[in-house]
Chain A
Amino acid sequence: MKRKWLWSTLVAGFVALMVGFVPQPTQAATESYTIGTDVTFPPFEFANKQNQYVGIDIDLMNAIAKQQGFKVTIKPLGFNAAVQALEAGQIDGVIAGMSITPERQEKFAMSDPYYQSGTVMAVAKDAKIKGLSGLRGKRVAVKTGTASADYANAQKKKYGFSVVTFDDSNNMYQDVMTGNSAACFEDKPVMQYGIASGMKLKIVGKTTMKSDYGIAIKRSESATLLKKVNAGLKALKANGQYDKIVRKYLGNGSEAAQKKKTAGTSETDRSFMGLLKSNWGTLMSGLQQTLWLTILGILCATIVGVLVGLLGVVPNKFAQGAATTFIYIFRGLPMMVLALFIYSGVPSLINEKIPAFVAGIITLTLNEGAYTAAFVKGGIAAVNPGQMEAARSLGLPWGKAMRRVILPQGIKIMVPSFINQFIITLKDTSILSVLGLLELTQTGKIIIARNMEGFKIWSMIALIYLIIITLLTWLSNWVQKRVNAA
């Protein structure tokens, strides 16, 4: 009878974990593919005013899918996360204004080129720098893993500048506009589009490193998806649809045409309230994702943490060793490393995709669970050992003594730590934005990438976090009062 309680808790914990590992069902009827893309790389991919993803890459990919009769889901994961996800086999392809390079051709199946680009250098609008030779002793911003970054790195010795890398274009632009960096290197169409959208930058020097953009496809899909993509591209170029898509975003290249294009993507009311109103829906869906991560994370981490914590006090060397090891490993690993390891490291080992959300929950479970286990163990150890002796001297077995005498006292000691851990879990969900999860922080990055209103949007995001943390604290304090009264 009493045993059942322990078992049901154990089983619940395992079920929670296993459900997470069940692979997503795949459609059989029409082929369905997941393609990763960058968060913001206008005009190739960016969120419009309605926070829908648009751009040359997005439209082109959808048109190819339609032309070839397959289903496609496009996920804005961020450039690096997308490439890593492709390497790990989490997704089937990446379309993100990606230059075709020998390295990439070796790793992935690259499609036929769909756009010719090149690297340009841009400086602040009022800067006097005219070219590479003006960069001596200065800092230059690039975006990680891009051909422009390779170019900058190849030139830095010769021209004597240092290179700082950013994960997305907007942070890179900002760094140049604020004067932290003297210049940035970027693909030409992107730079043109950015300047036309109001970035206070100008292009200097010549276009170099002319390169072709291609779609990267998972090697194992060379015979299927790659063939379809190439066939689709060819057909779209032939029937004029391709030109239409490119013109839709770049117009005829004139500044007037650019202005008209960008008008559609930028907000009209840029006041705090105006921005809040126009982004309300997006922010709320980000918040919803954050709350789901938090609630499920807290639930799983608490179950695992309590079980491991108890394992740590069982009078058995093996059990204690296992608990100590668990705590040591998962408390020691930085959460971001753990998240990326689970999301893009583990799948290549087990040959099974782990959806980002599930990877996020597993990360929270292990990391927060380790902290929980540590204070559960500590809380139990903090109960006067005389209590266990008195209970055992009455003939109560260890488990009953633990449950009826030690745990109720230990839990009181642990309650403040639990509350603290819940709040930390909420905050830590923001780290999961590296997995491309559209939670609150990632949502903020995307909105800002579009409207450049960093201060106002981050203020909103900060405010939302604070409100939720306040509510969570109230709830926890209420629970604490009830526990202490009991």
Chain B
Amino acid sequence: MEDERSETTQTCGVTRRVVLASGAGAAAASILPLEQRAQAQQQFARAETGQTVQVSANVNGRPVILEIDSRASLLDLLRERRELTGTKKGCDHGQCGACTVHLDGRPVSSCLTLAAKIDGRQVTTIEGLAEGADLHPMQQAFIDNDALQCGYCTPGQIMSAVACVTGGHATSPDAIREFMSGNICRCGAYVGILAAVQQAAKVMEG
């Protein structure tokens, strides 16, 4: 490979060839000296790998255009290519709900959503829910009912909970429990979550 630079590093008594850059996708950003590289990698101008696709979407009300590895998930787009780490990874296989975001207003599991699929669509994450300094009524209800402990599942819970109310599913405790069952909470905050949805439903439905 042409653009590969090697050097030998001595660490922990082991000598190894360190490949600082390899392959076409990685080359440009990596070949720079360290300090410059850090600058070059400011924000989103980062190396992509694999075959890339261009995605242009609206994320939390802002246009986003980026070239991204076509294998990437929406979750890894948000967390690793944008500063949107509120959305969490709990399983990466659609089995926990921690990664729930809204796609065109509906909750989806971002770990099983190919990033490429958001082209031309609207994504809302937990960071995009509050308006200005005001919390969304559901966020307030989660605080009021202490519907969380470690908070790791919480962004996903809240995104589902909002849809539970806006979709008209907050009709009874059992209906809420069923709708909210796609979000596992290992801390077991389910009782508080039910109460929070009930409280917010009153506010949201006016």
Q: Do A and B bind each other?
A: no
A interface list, Cβ under 8 A from B: none
Which B residues are within 8 Å of any A CB, using their own CB? none
